[in-house]
Amino acid sequence: MPDRRFTRRGLIHAGAAVAVSAEMPPDRGAPAGDKADSGNLFSTIEALAPPAEYPLSFLQPRFRNVAEWRKEARAVVLAALGPAPAPAAPQAETVARFEERGIVFEKIVFSTAPGVRAPAFLLKRGDLKTPAPAIVDLHSHGGMFLFGKEKVIGFGGNHPAMREYHKVNYGGRPTATELARRGYVVITIDAFPFGERRYVAQAELPRGWDRAKLSLEDVNRLNAQCRAKESTIVKTLTYAGLSWPGVTAWDDIRTVDYLCTRPEVDAKRIGCVGVSFGGWRSLFLGALDDRIRACCIAGFMSTVRPMMRAHMDTHSFVHFVPGLHRHMDLPDVAGLRAGRPLMVLQCRNDALFPPEGMQASVDKLTAIYAKAGAGELLAARFYDGPHRFDVPMQEDAFAWLEQWLKPESR
């Protein structure tokens, strides 16, 4: 019998054994027990990352004039978000109107692009004196795809899932209804793909779109289906030459377009506010649209490099703008408002952001506003507690918004 070591099969087995034994060990830059969300791959990513120099930060010495910087930097942000959709007349349609406890709720649908219709609620007091200041209230993510605009609205028909959502995220007081009670015209849309714009599996279509019929178990199950499709949405948008954050940002800009057509709105007194994903939306809307007089960002501010190691898994794909952070850090984007009122509210125990990143972002924004000669227009506050926009935070935000949007009442 021939020596098995020298048969063809024996040589194959031996070669495989050598190949396995010669495998490189895991990246030595990622020790056992490393807490990076990307595990042993983090050191490779870190090694490949360009230096965090942010050449389009207003703090770079070459920038002296804030208006000139804003024009150059904003163009880069818009390019990173992807192409602007073609203009479209709102062609708004009112599909329902009712009044509860002195607040008029108008459910509308309007166009944000050709062929794209956004469902929204517009809220205002029944005795509103017009023209009145307005707020774009930007709902959060929270893994809750079944609902969008309802996350910031309190009315008698709220689903039990929304009542719990309001309790956890808004201290039991949804913001849009409260702002309307205070004399603002408030609009909130379903961001893509939330609420009436959500993903619906083929098997679910026969059940229809009526969420009132869904149990809490149904809501949890369908949210899981939607979450599983996030990566599919991103891949499909990428092949279409688009980005999810770009679709979101342009929807919000087009919401301001529509708001300015409303006769009861004073177009010179428009603000925006949101928490978490809503804070991200407020950040970008305030940075990109000069019609926003006052911008409040809650629960979404940090420098990005400290987030890379252990604050990725807690964020949705929608928060990541391709290529943007070669040019600017997140507070640099928010700083595009320099010269206009900006408020940033953060929670010290927010699990979505590292404490050092949150503090560094405020420090950078402070420096940007100081360089622009507008330090008095920036307000930044920290609160004890986890990720949320509770009533004490809301009270501070609403008082600040009133300062800029309703100065006659002070």
pLDDT surpassing 50 at residue 265: yes
* Percent of the residues in the chain that have a pLDDT greater than 70, as a whole number: 90
> Helix/strand/coil (H, E, C) string of the chain?
CCCHHHCHHHHHHHHHHHHHHCCCCCCCCCCCCCCCCCHHHHHHHHHHCCCCCCCCCCCCCCCCCHHHHHHHHHHHHHHHHCCCCCCCCCCCEEEEEEEECCEEEEEEEEEEECCEEEEEEEEEECCCCCCEEEEEEECCCCCCCCCCHHHHCCCCCCCHHHHHHHHHHHCCCCHHHHHHHCCCEEEEECCCCCHHHCCCCHHHHHHCCCHHHCCHHHHHHHHHHHHHCHHHHHHHHHHCCCCHHHHHHHHHHHHHHHHCCCCCEEEEEEEEEEECHHHHHHHHHHHHCCCEEEEEEECCCCCCHHHCCCCCCCCCHHHCCCCHHHCCCHHHHHHHHCCCCEEEEEECCCCCCCHHHHHHHHHHHHHHHHHCCCHHHEEEEEECCCCCCCHHHHHHHHHHHHHHHCHHHC
Claim: this prediction has a pTM higher than 0.85: yes
pLDDT classification of 26: cutoffs 50, 70, 90 = low
pLDDT surpassing 50 at residue 122: yes
Task: For residues 256 and 333, give the distance between their C-alpha atoms in angstroms, rounded to a whole number.
Answer: 19
The structural domains of the chain, ordered by start, are: 4-48 (no CATH), 68-405 (3.40.50.1820)
pLDDT surpassing 90 at residue 408: no
Distances, alpha carbon 397 to alpha carbons 167, 253, 383, 401, in Å: 18, 22, 12, 6
The predicted-structure confidence for 172-203, as pLDDT tens digits, reads as follows 999 999 999 999 999 999 999 999 999 998 77
Indicate the average pLDDT of the chain. 92
What is the amino acid identity at position 87? P
**Which has the higher per-residue pLDDT, 201 or 250?**
250
The predicted-structure confidence for 274-328, as pLDDT tens digits, reads as follows 999 999 999 999 999 999 999 999 999 999 999 999 999 999 999 999 999 999 9
pLDDT classification of 16: cutoffs 50, 70, 90 = very low
Q: Mean pLDDT throughout 80-100?
A: 97
Per mean pLDDT, which range of 91-95, 205-209, 218-222 is the poorest? 205-209
